[in-house]
Amino acid sequence: MKTKVLFIASECVPFIKTGGLADVVGSLPGYFDKERYEVRVIVPNYICIAPEWKEKMEFVTNFYMDMAWRSQYVGVLEMEHEGIRYYFIDNEYYFAGDRPYGYIHEDVEKFAFFSKAALSILPVIGFRPDIVHCHDWQTGLVPVYLKDSFHKGEFYADMKSIMTIHNLKFQGIWNIPAVQDATGLDMSYFTSDKLEAFGDANYLKGGIVYADYVTTVSRTYAEEIKTPHYGEHLDGLMRARSNCLCGIVNGLDHREWDPATDPMIPKNYTEDTFRTDKVKNKLALQKELGLEVDKKKMLIGIVSRLTDQKGFDLIDCIMDELCQDEVQIVVLGTGEDRYENMFRHFAWKYGGKVAACIYYSNELSHKIYAAGDAFLMPSRFEPCGLSQLMSLRYGTLPIVRETGGLKDTVEPYNEFEETGTGFSFTNYNAHEMLSAIRYAESVYYDKKRSWNKMAERAMKADFSWKSSAKQYEALYDRLSPEKG
Query: Sorting pLDDT into bands at 50, 70 and 90, what band is 162?
Result: very high
Using one digit for the tens of pLDDT, what is the confidence trace for 209-242?
A: 999 999 999 999 999 999 999 999 999 999 999 9
Residue type at position 299: L
Radius of gyration of the chain (CA): 24
pLDDT above 70 covers a percentage of the chain that reads 100
Residue 149, pLDDT score: 83
Q: Residue 326 and residue 185: Cα distance in Å, rounded?
A: 61
In the sheet where 298-303 sits, what is the strand order? 354-357, 327-332, 298-303, 374-377, 397-401, 423-425
Q: Residue 333 and residue 340: Cα distance in Å, rounded?
A: 8
Count of C-beta atoms within a 10 Å radius of residue 134: 27
Task: State which H helix or E strand residue 258 sits in.
Answer: none
Examine residue 14 and say whether the peptide bond preceding it is cis (omega within 30 degrees of 0). yes
Q: Residue 425 and residue 407: Cα distance in Å, rounded?
A: 10
Is 483 a residue whose pLDDT tops 80? no
Domains of the chain: 3-251+466-479 (3.40.50.2000), 274-462 (3.40.50.2000)
Using one digit for the tens of pLDDT, what is the confidence trace for 336-371?
A: 999 999 999 999 999 999 999 999 899 999 999 999
Residue 152, pLDDT score: 78
Region 54-83: what's the mean pLDDT?
Answer: 96
Residue 481, pLDDT score: 76
Using one digit for the tens of pLDDT, what is the confidence trace for 89-125?
A: 999 999 999 999 999 999 999 999 999 999 999 999 9
Residue 153, pLDDT score: 74
DSSP result, 107-157: HHHHHHHHHHHHHHTHHHHT---SEEEEESGGGTHHHHHHHTTTTTSGGGT
Using one digit for the tens of pLDDT, what is the confidence trace for 440-451?
A: 999 999 999 999
Residue 277, pLDDT score: 97
Q: Residue 272 and residue 294: Cα distance in Å, rounded?
A: 23
Residue type at position 396: T
Q: Residue 55 and residue 31: Cα distance in Å, rounded?
A: 26
Region 425-439: what's the mean pLDDT?
Answer: 98
Is 482 a residue whose pLDDT tops 80? no
Using one digit for the tens of pLDDT, what is the confidence trace for 168-207?
A: 999 999 999 999 999 999 999 999 999 999 999 999 999 9
Is 19 a residue whose pLDDT tops 90? no
Q: Are the C-beta atoms of 46 and 156 separated by less than 8 Å? A: no
Using one digit for the tens of pLDDT, what is the confidence trace for 233-247?
A: 999 999 999 999 999
Using one digit for the tens of pLDDT, what is the confidence trace for 248-286?
A: 999 998 888 999 999 999 999 999 999 999 999 999 999
Residue 484, pLDDT score: 56
pLDDT above 90 covers a percentage of the chain that reads 94
DSSP letter assigned to residue 169:
T
Query: Whole-model pTM?
Result: 0.94
Count of C-beta atoms within a 10 Å radius of residue 326: 12
Q: Are the C-beta atoms of 443 and 451 separated by less than 8 Å? A: yes
Using one digit for the tens of pLDDT, what is the confidence trace for 364-390?
A: 999 999 999 999 999 999 999 999 999
Is 49 a residue whose pLDDT tops 60? yes
Q: How many helices (H) and strands (E) does the chain have?
A: 19, 18
Is 77 a residue whose pLDDT tops 60? yes
